[in-house]
Amino acid sequence: MAALTNAIPEKTVERLSEYRRTLLACHKQGISHIFSHVLAGIHGITAVQVRRDLMLIGFSSDTKKGYDVQVLINYISNILDSPTPMNVAVLGMGHLGQAITKYFNSKGLKLRITTAFDVDPQKVGHEIDGIPCFHMDQFEKAVEERDISIVVVSSPTNVALDLVVPIINAGIRGVLNFTSTPLNFPQGIIVENYDITTLLEKVAYFVKESDSNNS
Amino acid sequence: MAALTNAIPEKTVERLSEYRRTLLACHKQGISHIFSHVLAGIHGITAVQVRRDLMLIGFSSDTKKGYDVQVLINYISNILDSPTPMNVAVLGMGHLGQAITKYFNSKGLKLRITTAFDVDPQKVGHEIDGIPCFHMDQFEKAVEERDISIVVVSSPTNVALDLVVPIINAGIRGVLNFTSTPLNFPQGIIVENYDITTLLEKVAYFVKESDSNNS
């Protein structure tokens, strides 16, 4: 991920996104205030970390009852969300693409997956999980017409590299790549390569290490 | 993730897993050697980072032709993989669970998803994507019989918390949680909470910041 002036560190952005999700769940349950150590406990981190993250975004209105949940949600949203909503497209509407679309659009977030692309004639021209599916041939045109700024790459791994040039040409600004092929883009395009395999291999490694520490 | 004596840092483990995937792809294409700067370029990092990671695991047999691909694959596998294969179960065989299972088991890795759990009568007792699906009622028994040490939680978010006690009781050693509810476990159980929403919100944030840097 490219370094940007004044931007908040990646890990803090991740945690802010996570705090907000917890706060939204609290709000739904009618909880109006939360202590930093409670928020920290839910996320398995220290209260110092929570306070440091919030200090970094200039939030400090801790009260005797803890943070005001609604105020903190709004504060984080102002930091994370774009003032104009961003549209997201999924490239590859297979199982992973469909799972991501359903999962994401069910959350009622500002960020929405609005468009799918595929090459399968059974999918192209149809609506899947509530969003229209276009042929990759129409990528550039559809991106412009539908004002898409971010794409999720959930195509088969062996075609992922073929998507790089169309993504650049269409003026896409951010890429979340779930395939096993790491994708590189010119400066100015934000890319996050995330292979699920890595996560599972990581958990397995630490289980193995934990075993050998205990034996 | 718990700190373990002598364990390699998390980020290095992630990169080793990624390097190995790239090396396996190279091997498949008949490439026998690779330079550190080429490996670095594919992953969008510096050659110094690659060499530092490999130094950390004690690998230094760089030749004039670069690293021997097969030797490096074996070296990384010795570090990452458990000597006895670990079985993985998926809790929640919805779209995400099925996508993860298909995706993961198609890769021919040592780590394999061997079992699914669900409560849906249409799924329980059947084979889905080549693996049997058990009812959650049978979780503890099936984990023991099928020698499962890691679980992937892909259940609906609102039932994720109900899975914590069964996971602990069944003696599970590692948890990869994809729901929006962060799960906490006692020391000794490795947990990685990974909500896809976070990744997408992170990309969106950096796109927004990049826009405001350019305007």
Q: CB contacts < 8 Å between A and B, how many? A: 220
CB B47, CB B36: distance < 8 Å: yes
- Band the pLDDT of A4: cuts 50, 70, 90: low
- Angle, CA B79 vertex, CA B169 and CA B154 arms, to 5°: 40
Under 8 Å CB-to-CB from A165, ≥6 apart: which residues? none
Residue A203 to residue B188, Cβ atoms within 8 A: no
Q: Is the pLDDT of residue B131 over 60?
A: yes
pLDDT tens-digit map of A75-110: 999 999 888 888 999 999 988 899 889 888 877 777
Give contacts of B6 with chain A, Cβ < 8 Å.
209, 213
The pLDDT value recorded for residue B62 is: 67
Arithmetic mean of pLDDT, B9-21: 92
- Band the pLDDT of B68: cuts 50, 70, 90: very high
| DSSP label of B111 | S
Most A CBs within 10 Å: which of B103, B183, B192, as the mutation test of the A interface? Answer: B103
SS3 state at B207: helix
Give percent of chain B above pLDDT 70.
Answer: 95
Tell me the pTM: 0.83
Least confident of A82-86, A126-130, B61-65, B174-178: B61-65
Residue A18 to residue B99, Cβ atoms within 8 A: no
Q: Is the pLDDT of residue A59 over 80?
A: yes
SS3 state at A97: helix
The pLDDT value recorded for residue A209 is: 86
pLDDT tens-digit map of B144-168: 999 999 999 999 888 999 999 999 9
Q: Which of residues 51-90 of B touch A (CB under 8 A)?
A: 79-82, 86, 88
Partner A contacted by B210 (CB < 8 A): yes
3-state secondary structure B119-180: CCCCCCCCEECCEEEEEHHHHHHHHHHCCEEEEEECCCHHHHHHHHHHHHHCCCCEEEECCC
Partner A contacted by B42 (CB < 8 A): yes
